[in-house]
Chain A
Amino acid sequence: MPVQYISGFTVVFEVLSRFWPVWIALVIVMGASFAYKKKLALYGQLFDSGVGIVGVGICLFWLFTAIFAATISPFDPLAQIPIMKDVLPGAVEPQSGLTYLFGGDKLARDVFSRMVYGSQIVLIIAPAATGFALMVGITLGLPAGYYGGKIDTVLSFLANLVLAFPVILLFYLLVTPGIMDTPIPYGMAGVFFLFPIIFFSVLFWTRYKNRPDRLYILLGITLILGGWIYLGLVFDKDPLHIVHIDPNQLNIFVAVVFASSPGVFRIVRGLVMDIKTRDYVAAAQTRGESPWYIMLWEILPNARGPLIVDACLRIGYTTILLGTLGYFGLGLAPESPDWGTAIKDASRLLRSFIHPALPPTIALMSFVLGLNLLADSLREQSMKD
């Protein structure tokens, strides 16, 4: 039974229409943001420039794609339908009558569905890893910049060590099966995931020390929530069995946090060294505030602008990094639909079939481009006033 094809125009139309939940969500969110942009501070100002709108648009597009992946994709990203092996875009799968919109790959899986599901992996790992890297970088960068001296020397030296080490080599080391069997990844995860808990506890403790009514509630929430997630992620012993992460993904996660936190550290350290010379910091010192209060409540809020921009760019880097890792077959399972692995799989047969390689490449590129545009526009808008 020969495979039927639909025309190129129909493919485009089909692709656009498959994304219908994304379009609806985009229209609602963008419309609302546009209508209330005056009240939305920095986020609202993004809508003043074309670059900002495009950046937000692309990022939201991929966010909604990840959320609605199950609705959008016609096939299971792992399902193999032998007849569809290496089919060109627009091939109709005879049994269900649905189309392989971007064709099939060498294992006869739907490229379109894999691209859509791939966004889920990227959009979970990249922002979360960046978030943890931020936590680690901030928690270490604040004292290094504020105290200077020995603390700064030691921490900066460590950061330089990590930065000086070739990233790919580092990943090879961290993600090789030999190391994965040792307790090293879990040990590192245990250390890194401790930082958010420490960060928020100190944050609330310094602010509400004199107001026990608030302090205990906030500290309680932090410790219970943090402890629960910590148990689930590091020990995989979540009593409710909700929080769970694959050992493979945990590994990648730890590696990414490890590689990008020194960057955050350096930025935070530099910002703190600048901001600590301001009079309001001196004013806080003269009323006897503790150093950690000053770092977390006087300095950090005023460093948020550059940090937000950096976070956006960093999510982009992390996405590329995940792609690279996938390309080298590191970390994630070989059949995983993430973009990097998909590009690797397709690259083996690039000379005969180019179509399985293009969608994940373009997806990766457009998402990073969107993040960069967003970061650019954020920087520009925050400089304006």
Chain B
Amino acid sequence: MNEAVRNPAKPTPGPTKGPIIEIENLSISFFTRKGEIPAVMDFSCTVMPGEAMGIVGESGCGKSTVSLGIMRDLSNIGKIVGGKIKFQGKDMGELSDEELRSIRGNKIAMIYQEPMASLNPAMKVGQQLMEVPLIHDKVSKEEAYKRALDMVRSVKLPDPERMMRSYPHQLSGGQQQRIVIAMALLSKPALLLLDEPTTALDVTVEAGIVDLVKGLGEKFGTSMIFVSHNLGLILETCDRITVMYSGEAVETGKIKDVFDRMRHPYTQGLFRSIPLPGADKNSRPLISIPGQLPLPHERPKGCNFGPRCHHFVEGVCNAAEIPMIEVAGHEGHFSRCVRFNEIDWEALPPGAKKVNERVMPGAPVLKIEDLRKYYRVGGSEVFGSSEGRVVKANETISFMARESETVAIVGESGCGKSTLAKVLLGLETASAGTVTLGNTEIQSTGIDKRSVDTVSSIQMVFQNPFDTLNPSHSVGSQIIRTLEKFNVGKTVADRRKRMLELLDLVKLPRAFETRKPRQLSGGQKQRIGVARAFAGDAKVVVADEPVSALDVSVQAAVTELLMDIQRKNKTTMLFISHDLSVVRYIADRVVVMYLGYIVEQGTTDQIFAPPYHPYTEALLSAIPIADTSVVKKHIVLEGDIPSAMNPPSGCPFQTRCGYKKLVPDNLCETKVPPVKHLGDGHMSLCWLSDDVLAKMEPVIKFDKEHAAHEGMPDDASHGDGPGFAGTPPKRPRGKRPS
């Protein structure tokens, strides 16, 4: 029922020149207690030698199942129920277990999300690497060592000999992932499967891995299947893309075709819900996809996306199962939508076009001055050893947040942002400095000593939606408990009424009162988390990566919700994040942290335009942006974030900074730089002189003669609405011509 997506330039089949892998109408089901659950249906794709195919989709769409299916590594309950996988022309279904084993790890290698799970913690890295040629190629030990060492060098790890001698736990996450990649490449595979290889890593480390992966195709001629939820990453690494939704491929084609002229409403919905440069919380808010992913056994008839699609037409979209339909004018571009020629791709969904008034920040609510937080570590409790080291988690933190302002705190893991949140909320007390909330100093009052008023006026939204609600209590009782704690309402009935109002506020049905958290989706749980934080009319809400664990389409909805409530309540929001795209969209002011220091702060416009702090510049460059018209300056930081236990001397960033040579007298390595005022409250912690700063170029630029418009078919209209396809994006908010 479905045309396989073939490369038109496909030569006659043969093991060398033909496609590396051909998947035809693959269907995979899991057989559980509740019966058969189809996980992947009718999935087809072809990967040519040296080509990189990206598979993108939200959690539960079946993208990982496809990659496991290729490896034939479905657990005992998973089964391929239909279709064929041909690897180098051979049908893998007909191979014996023996033959499959010789293909796995030898011709097809897989790289998983969690590097530590793929490495044996009890073996030295070198031994593990040497095993690959020893087993697969039966070479001598010396030869194996030589090959392993060469490979460690080619994945750009520093000090390869030392790496070979270390145990996996002695390496950082980024280094571990490089070792895993090296191990996969040692057997010279024809196909590399990467399942979210960078999701567990920090942004600047991710950029390094992406850089490495990109070169693999050219250097080793390896084909890749890159599974990710991040459209930006796919854009940077792949040649072609397949978008999956609810177990089906819904659109596939060349990166440029799909990104600039998508022909499936789901793909468009995805692009509209991620904060690309050009989105603006006031004039051009994000548009989220309504509803949620259908459960595998509750999929609708016809188009799976139908119930959430605003182009849905009764009797057309749900009449029969929909095949992949070729898009005219593009090679290899297919969409699983029957109406893509009738849809006005510029039209916004009804009710989506809204313009919010810009809220002016009011009086300062939260003032932090010279805050420090040191931890003493080491020394055993029992036999009280006197040796202990001091970890400086926060150093000289000073900033201010006004009423109804959003201040973003940006930084990677270990930068001290979570410690800062803990001090603000009273879970820890500060070592020095002051934190003023309203008129009271709260830096040294722990949570148990704070008044109910103070406690309820500074609250938190947590990162992990699966962890933020207690799985043992019903949703309603958890909110009511919070109200009780904050002395809201006098009677039980009062509090219940208020709880129902809060459910309305976060746009959840009142019936959720009696639900247990496990019956809720990630986005719904996060909404409950928001309701709980706002239960006591909080003045300051600390949101710790509130959307980073959510799916793209849900992220937009939760972000909008947070901002709506903030607007209504005039709340001050501290938005902790590592994702600068979201930060640019949501924040009024930005604070960039690195290793406990604030390295740069200013308004969003100031931060996203030169002059930058070198770290901010690297962060900006590291973030994958899912927009083909964006040209980024390419900066990849070397090394990893130093440990807070053993910080570098002088400037915290000096070990990775590319500008160090421009500063005279080796100042960077000896002295902590002074805070440099760049005007209008823009501050930077850097030794760089004014003329170097003035010469900095913007990291993100738009290519005016955007290449995607070459060969644009006639049916793609050039509107100037906020649709993404075919419209050159406006310059992002905050970019001033420099």
Contacts and interface: CB of A to CB of B under 8 A. Distances in A.
Interface of A: 48, 148-150, 152-153, 157, 210-211, 278-280, 282-290, 297-298, 301-302, 304, 384
A287 B486 contact: yes
B455 interface: yes
B149 to A, nearest CB: 39
A287 B469 contact: no
Contact of B447 (A48, A278, A288): A288
A282 B492 contact: no
A288 to B, nearest CB: 4
B569 interface: no
B427 A279 contact: no
B358 interface: no
Contact of A280 (B427, B450, B470, B484): B470
A371 B447 CA distance: 45
A313 to B, nearest CB: 23
Contacts of A284: 470
| Interface residues of chain A: helix, strand, loop or mixed (majority) | helix
A210 B484 contact: yes
Nearest to A289: B485
Given A286-B459, A288-B448, 10 more contacts: A148-B381, A152-B381, A279-B464, A283-B460, A287-B455, A287-B459, A287-B532, A288-B447, A301-B472, A302-B471
B425 interface: yes
A350 B381 CA distance: 55
Nearest to B456: A287
B470 A301 contact: yes
Interface in B446-476: 447-448, 450, 452, 455-456, 459-460, 462-464, 467-473
Contacts of A287: 455-456, 459, 482, 485-486, 532
Contacts of A302: 470-472
A280 B455 CA distance: 16
Contacts of B467: 278-280
A48 to B, nearest CB: 7
Contacts of B381: 148-150, 152-153
Contacts of A282: 427, 460, 462
Nearest to B468: A279
Contacts of A285: 425, 427, 447
Given A149-B381, A153-B381, A288-B450, A48 B33 contact: yes
B382 interface: yes
Nearest 7 A/B pairs, CB to CB: A301-B472, A279-B467, A279-B462, A288-B455, A280-B470, A279-B468, A286-B425
Contacts of A157: 382
Contacts of A280: 467-470
A15 B582 CA distance: 75
A298 B478 CA distance: 10
A211 to B, nearest CB: 7
Interface in B524-572: 529, 532
A167 to B, nearest CB: 25
B487 to A, nearest CB: 8
Q: Which of A157, A211, A282 has the most CB of B within 10 A?
A: A282
A246 to B, nearest CB: 39
Contacts of B460: 282-283, 286
Contacts of B447: 285-286, 288
8 contacts: A282-B427, A285-B447, A287-B486, A288-B450, A288-B485, A301-B472, A304-B472, A384-B33
Nearest to A299: B470
Contacts of B529: 283
Q: Which of A148, A149, A278 has the most CB of B within 10 A?
A: A278
A250 to B, nearest CB: 35
Given A278-B467, A289-B485, A153 B472 contact: no
Contacts of B33: 48, 384
A285 B470 CA distance: 13
Contacts of A297: 473
Nearest to A384: B33
Contacts of A149: 381
Interface string B356-400: 000000000000000000000000011000000000000000000
Contact of B427 (A150, A211, A286, A384): A286
A48 B455 CA distance: 47
Given A149-B381, A210-B484, A283 B471 contact: no
Nearest to A152: B381
A16 to B, nearest CB: 34
A298 to B, nearest CB: 6
A208 to B, nearest CB: 10
Contacts of A279: 462-464, 467-468
Interface string B638-677: 0000000000000000000000000000000000000000
Contacts of A286: 425-427, 447, 455, 459-460
Contacts of A384: 33
A298 B486 CA distance: 18
Contacts of B455: 286-288
Nearest to B542: A286
Contact of A283 (B382, B448, B532): B532
Given A285-B427, A288-B455, A301-B473, A211 B492 contact: yes
A284 B447 CA distance: 11
A280 B472 CA distance: 11
B382 A153 contact: yes
A204 to B, nearest CB: 15
Contacts of B468: 279-280, 283
Interface in B410-459: 425-427, 447-448, 450, 452, 455-456, 459
A157 B383 CA distance: 13
B380 to A, nearest CB: 9
Nearest to B424: A286
B427 A298 contact: no
B65 to A, nearest CB: 19
Interface in B86-111: none
A283 B468 CA distance: 7
Contacts of B482: 287
A360 to B, nearest CB: 39
B385 to A, nearest CB: 14
B470 A298 contact: yes
A292 B171 CA distance: 39
Nearest to B450: A288
A152 B529 CA distance: 32
B60 to A, nearest CB: 15
Nearest to A213: B492
A43 B456 CA distance: 40
Q: Which of A48, A152, A210, A280 has the most CB of B within 10 A?
A: A280
Q: Which of A152, A283, A287 has the most CB of B within 10 A?
A: A287
A120 B455 CA distance: 54
Contacts of A301: 470, 472-473
Contacts of B472: 301-302, 304
Nearest to B381: A153
A345 B12 CA distance: 87
A137 B485 CA distance: 29
Contacts of B426: 286
Contacts of B450: 288
A230 B467 CA distance: 40
A150 B382 CA distance: 8
